[in-house]
Chains A and B, each alone.
Chain A
Amino acid sequence: AQSVTQLDSQVPVFEEAPVELRCNYSSSVSVYLFWYVQYPNQGLQLLLKYLSGSTLVESINGFEAEFNKSQTSFHLRKPSVHISDTAEYFCAVSLMFSGGYNKLIFGAGTRLAVHP
């Protein structure tokens, strides 16, 4: 069965410092991986996705994630965080149904707290 493990429930960091949010997945088939961000009292926003091709994917706001098949990981990184990056971050993997439909399986989330 596919599953997602986010290794840190909370990550405190100072503004302008680098950060890494860790995600490991288990799957025996081709994987499609995602990072979503959830700001307080809001829904989830798609941050970036890995479908195929280059193992390094980037978002428009400076985040990047690297797909590592041998380590079954999809860690999220940012070289310099801002106060506005404070949010809950969810790693997810897509599980296919027959007919080409799918559901997302989420990790428990990592709360990123950026301090001035």
Chain B
Amino acid sequence: DAGVTQSPTHLIKTRGQHVTLRCSPISGHKSVSWYQQVLGQGPQFIFQYYEKEERGRGNFPDRFSARQFPNYSSELNVNALLLGDSALYLCASSSPGLAGGTQQWQYFGPGTRLTVT
């Protein structure tokens, strides 16, 4: 089975522009989470979606938004880009938990490298 896929691989945008990143989870996984990894740091949680609903949100401004589609794929949108938004954006998926919710561990895609100039 294919792992988590993300597109595009790389992206260069100018300050003030808008960007959309896409993610497809592992087949059978219903949850998608987004993380931001700034160079030299660990990933920081942005959102988790399950069954098309937002289940958790990290400490990011409202310029960041996301959605999940009926096929469980997801988009991350960032408006009014700032230089500080330059990072590797990681998508992760997880399968349903035995007692509801999701499993504790997540599988990551290769990421989208966003550069804001």
List residues of chain A with CB under 8 Å of any chain B CB: 4, 32, 34, 36, 42-46, 49, 51, 90, 92, 94, 97, 99-109
Contact code string B75-110 (vs A, CB < 8 Å = 1, else 0): 000000000000000101000010111101111111
Residues of chain B at interface, number, CB under 8 A: 31
The reply to whether A44 and B90 contact each other, CB–CB distance below 8 Å, is: yes
CB distance from B9 to the nearest CB of A (A): 10
The reply to whether B41 and A108 contact each other, CB–CB distance below 8 Å, is: yes
Contact residue among B31, B42, B105 (Cβ-Cβ distance under 8 Å from A108):
B42
Indicate whether B18 reaches chain A with its CB closer than 8 angstroms: no
Most buried by A among B90, B97, B105: B105
Q: What are 16 A-B contacts with C-beta separation under 8 Å?
A: A42-B111, A44-B108, A45-B108, A46-B105, A46-B107, A46-B108, A97-B48, A97-B55, A99-B100, A100-B100, A100-B102, A101-B50, A102-B102, A104-B33, A106-B43, A109-B40
Once bound together, how far apart are the Cα atoms of A42 and B104, in whole Å? 22
Once bound together, how far apart are the Cα atoms of A90 and B106, in whole Å? 13
Indicate whether B8 reaches chain A with its CB closer than 8 angstroms: no
Q: A101-B55, A107-B42 are in contact. List 19 more A-B contacts (CB 8 A).
A: A4-B42, A43-B4, A43-B90, A44-B92, A46-B105, A46-B108, A49-B104, A90-B42, A97-B56, A99-B100, A100-B97, A100-B99, A100-B100, A101-B101, A102-B104, A103-B48, A104-B35, A105-B45, A106-B42
The reply to whether A101 and B58 contact each other, CB–CB distance below 8 Å, is: no
- Residues of chain B with a CB closer than 8 A to A4's CB: 42
With A108-B41, A109-B41 as given contacts, are A103 and B58 in contact (CB-CB < 8 Å)?
yes
Once bound together, how far apart are the Cα atoms of A44 and B48, in whole Å? 17
CB distance from A69 to the nearest CB of B (A): 17
With A45-B108, A94-B104 as given contacts, are A101 and B31 in contact (CB-CB < 8 Å)?
yes
3 closest A-B pairs by beta carbon, nearest first, are: A100-B101, A106-B42, A101-B55
Once bound together, how far apart are the Cα atoms of A82 and B104, in whole Å? 30
Most buried by B among A4, A34, A43, A45: A43
The reply to whether B45 and A103 contact each other, CB–CB distance below 8 Å, is: yes
